[in-house]
Structure 1
Amino acid sequence: MSKMNKTKVYEVYDEIINWFDDARNKSLMESEYLHLIVNTIPPKGNILDLGCGTGEPIAQFFIEKGFKVTGIDGSQKMIERCKKRFPSERWIRSDMRNINLHQQFDAILAWHSFFHLDHDSQRNMFKIFSSHIKPGGVLAFTSGDEEGEVWSDNGGHQLYHASLATKEYNRLLESFSFKVLIHKVRDPECGEATIWVAQKM
């Protein structure tokens, strides 16, 4: 399929949900970062998973460790699958750019989801991150390794990805009182993703 409008990400995920669920690595290649979060925040705290997908494996990891998960995804089918798999948790169909949950969380993840936003939307998300996280809470997200925009094939559909420059991510985090704990560029153990983990001061 040809490149679609940048805003059609959720519609694509509705179409490719079964392909995505089968293709998604469930081996917890993110384990290093997830365990860092668990060891930094209070036990049985509240997790906000932005772009939660089908809930496996990341939300599942926290649920099995006794945390309460609120998952946000714009794909109706992704949210339906999360509700079926983990009915005791809170699942909301919404665009992460529009949330106002009137709650602060011990950790926020935007893992392999944040990079579907365009540059201005990514910049605006840091205010949302900041307003939804407790002091001492941990923010984790993935990005590209340099500023730019790319399209990639996912289940026969083209999906949009974007990244800001490293310098700008650092500036945004600092301006919202986040201290960078980890910045790892193209982690080979994590699908070549560039990893950011920061703590709200």
Structure 2
Amino acid sequence: MDKSNGYEDIADRFIESRGRNMKGIGSSSVREWARALPQGAAVLDLGCGTGIPISKVLMDEGMAVYGLDVSITLINEFRKNFPNAPVVCEAVEDSSFFNRKFDAVIAWGLIFLLPEDSQVKVIQKAAAALRSGGKLLFTAPYQKTEWTDVMTKQLSRSLGAEQYSKLLAASGLTLLEEFEDEGENHYFHAIKPNIT
């Protein structure tokens, strides 16, 4: 099974078309989200790709970014772009997430690429990797739907807002808000409540 969901096969094309756009869709929404995080926060970027634009935006806002992607080609490009940032080539559903806790986890354009059972596992693992008060931000269509990814020709699926909300709650997270960016990407923003 191709854990990159077709992205390793099209990595060079992805790099040319999307992987170098410093002001790509979503960057302004991620920037606004990052500005609410503590300065120097440790942020895990799941499915980081080349690191552009998401990891770069986070770094520009003073975050300590850790990248994770299963495509070796995209990871190599990430390493060229950010030689000092920790990054590993692993499937998100199998990763140890650096065996550490994070102030925030972001999964931009990733969750819906995974099979349903992997989506559940990744959200649970992201919740477990968050410190108390940590935040999770991920994108997935609001409605429950399936479609063929334009670039990879692989099946993509959204579990839908109702199911994601239930999954977040079952993982110990509180959904703070949902919103959309200029590209009509739907965001789910959750927090791990402080334990008192």
In 2, the alpha carbon distance for the partners of 1:9 and 1:177 equals 27
The total of aligned residue pairs comes to 190
The residue that corresponds to 2:157 in the other structure is 162
Pairwise CA RMSD: 1.8
**1:10 to partner: Cα distance:** 1.9
| SS at structure 2 position matched to 1:98 | coil
1:130 aligned to 2:127? yes
In 1, the alpha carbon distance for the partners of 2:153 and 2:108 equals 19
The residue that corresponds to 1:15 in the other structure is 9
1:111 aligned to 2:111? no
- The one-character-per-residue Cα deviations of 1:19-67 (angstroms, maximum 9, x if unpaired) are 2123225324324532343233210111100000111011011122222
Structure with more strand by fraction = 1
- The one-character-per-residue Cα deviations of 1:110-134 (angstroms, maximum 9, x if unpaired) are 1101111111111122220111111
- The one-character-per-residue Cα deviations of 1:130-184 (angstroms, maximum 9, x if unpaired) are 1111111110111122223221221xx4122111132111111112232222213
Q: Percent identity?
A: 28
Structure with more helix by fraction = 1
The runs of 5 or more residues in structure 1 that have no matched partner are 1-6
In 2, the alpha carbon distance for the partners of 1:141 and 1:125 equals 11
Contact 2:29/2:181 (8 A) holds in 1? no
1:175 aligned to 2:167? no
Moved over 6 A (4+): none
Which of these residues, 91, 95, 118, is aligned with residue 91 of structure 2? 95
In 1, the alpha carbon distance for the partners of 2:154 and 2:64 equals 30
Contact 1:37/1:107 (8 A) holds in 2? no
The residue that corresponds to 2:118 in the other structure is 121
**1:105 to partner: Cα distance:** 0.6
Contact 2:42/2:102 (8 A) holds in 1? yes
**1:95 to partner: Cα distance:** 0.4
| SS at structure 2 position matched to 1:128 | helix
| SS at structure 2 position matched to 1:13 | coil
Contact 1:41/1:136 (8 A) holds in 2? no
1:197 aligned to 2:189? yes
The residue that corresponds to 2:61 in the other structure is 65
The runs of 5 or more residues in structure 2 that have no matched partner are none
- TM-score normalised by structure 2 residue count: 0.88
The residue that corresponds to 1:140 in the other structure is 137
Contact 2:103/2:135 (8 A) holds in 1? yes
In 1, the alpha carbon distance for the partners of 2:181 and 2:44 equals 26
**1:188 to partner: Cα distance:** 5.6
- TM-score normalised by structure 1 residue count: 0.86
